[in-house]
Structure 1
C-alpha cells in the first residue's frame, strides 16, 4: 500500500510538471505573434503600397480608383442652352407680281422656301439649341412651317408679334421673354455649326459680351457657298455679319430701340446694330467667327430687289473676325 502511494505521488508530480511546461510554451508563442503583428501594423503605408505582395482584401477596397465612366461624369461640361430667335416670309407665286421679285420665277421662289426650311431644320437639330422661337404675324406661315418641319419639333415655339420684319422686334422679344438666357437671333437661312459647346453664359454676363458672327461658306446641294458669300476671313472682311448671341439682362433702353427701328432686310443693319450696342448698350461686341461657325444657305440667289442701304460712317460698327470668345 505504501509503494502504491509513492507511485501515485510521482505520477501526480509528473502531471503537474507537464501542465506547467505546456502553459509556458503557449505563452511564449502568443508573445511572438503579438510582436510580429505589432511590426506589421507599424509598417509605413508607402511601403505597403509599393510592396509586390498582394494586399489583404480590406486594403484593396480602400485604394480602389473611380470607374472611367464616373471620372467622365465629374469632368464633362454641360451644353449651353441657347434660345434661337428666327422668322421668315412666306413667298408664293403672288410675289412674282410685286416689284421685289418680278424678275424671278416660281422655281426660284420654291427653291428659296426650301432653303428657309433647311436652315430652320438645321438650327432645330443643333445640340446646343434648346428652343427655337419663331416670330410671326400671319398664321399661314405657321401652317407652312408645321407642314414641312418634321424633326425636333418639340423645340419649336411660335410667337405672334406685331411685325417680325422690324430689326428691333428680335431684341424686344429677347429682353421681354429671355431674360438671363443665352439668346441667339439668326436669319432663317443661317444656322449654327461647330464651336457652340464653348459658349459660356457666365462670361457673356460678367463681361457683357455680344457676339455678332460672320457666316462661313459650305458646299450645299446646288452650289459652293464659300465662293459666293462674304465669309469669315480676316483678309477679305468687309463688315458682313449674320447671327447675334447675347444674354438679355435688364431692360432694353428706349435709345437702343429707336436706333434699331428699321427693316431687317436692308443693307447695313448689322453695322448699325454693332455701333448701337457698343455705344448705347455698352456691350463688348466681337466677332469670334473663327471659333463659332454659322453657315449660310442661299444657292437660289433670290433677293429682294428693293433693298437699300441705311448705314453711314457715323453709325457703322465693324467687328473683324477673331479667334477668342472673351
Structure 2
C-alpha cells in the first residue's frame, strides 16, 4: 500500500478507524472486531485509530487484546461523557486519561495522542505545552488535534509542533478545504480525514433508513433523517452509476478522491467488518475522472448539516 508521512513515521495511506467497535452504529462483537483488525493488517494497513470514548473503552480494550505491536496507533481523550457531555483539556485530566488508555491498550507508549475536542477555556498554548511534556517523557510519540480551526492549529504548532489534525472530510463534507487542509500542508502536519465514506453513505450498496433508535447515532443525524436522507440518496445515485460504469467500487472511488486532495491526507474509514475492507480497493483516478466526480457531486451538494445542534458542541467553526 502507498505510504504517507504522519509525524516522524511513514504509515499506510489509508488507516482504520475503530469507532464502530464500540457499537455506535449498532451491535458488534469482539470476535468480529478482532477479525477486522487481522484483515486490515493483512491488507497492509499500518495506522489504527481509536479513542477512550469509543464504547467507553471497548475499542481500546479490543485493540489491546489483539496486541499487534508493529503498527502506528492513535487514541484520543478530552470528551467527558455526560450527562451533560462536556470536554476537559487540563493537564491532570489528560494524564489521567492517557494512563487509563495505556492500560486498556496494554502499552507503555502510544504513537499519536489526540485532543478529541478543544476546551475553549484552556488556552491552546497551555494544551500544546501539556502535550509537549508527554512527548518529552516518552509517553506519546506526537500529538494531534481534532475538529479544530486553522487558527487553533497555528497557535498550537507555534508552542509545540503538531503531528496531525483529524477532522471530518469526504465528498459531502468539504469544510476543511476552506483553509485547514492548506494550513496543514504549510506546516508539515498530516491531515487525517475521518468519515471519508460519509458514515456509510458511500458504501458498497445504498443505505436504507433502518438505523436503530438510541443505538445508531445516524438515526438523529440531519443528513440521515427525512426528507434529507432520500434527497442525499438521489444526489449520490449518479456517482454510483459512474462507479459501476468505470468498474470502481463506490468506497474505492470515494477514498481515491480524498487521497487526491493532497499528499499529506490520510483517510481513516471505519468498519467493524472484515468483508467491507475488500471494497476499499482505491480506484485509479485521472484528472478527468476527478473533474467528473466533482461535477456530479459539487461542494455543498449534501442535504442537511453533518451534525445536529446537540452534536456540534465544542466543534470549532470557521469561515
TM-score class, shorter? under 0.3
Q: TM-score, normalised by structure 2?
A: 0.28
Question: Does 1 or 2 have the higher relative contact order (CA < 8 Å, sep 6+)?
Answer: 2
Q: TM-score, normalised by structure 1?
A: 0.28
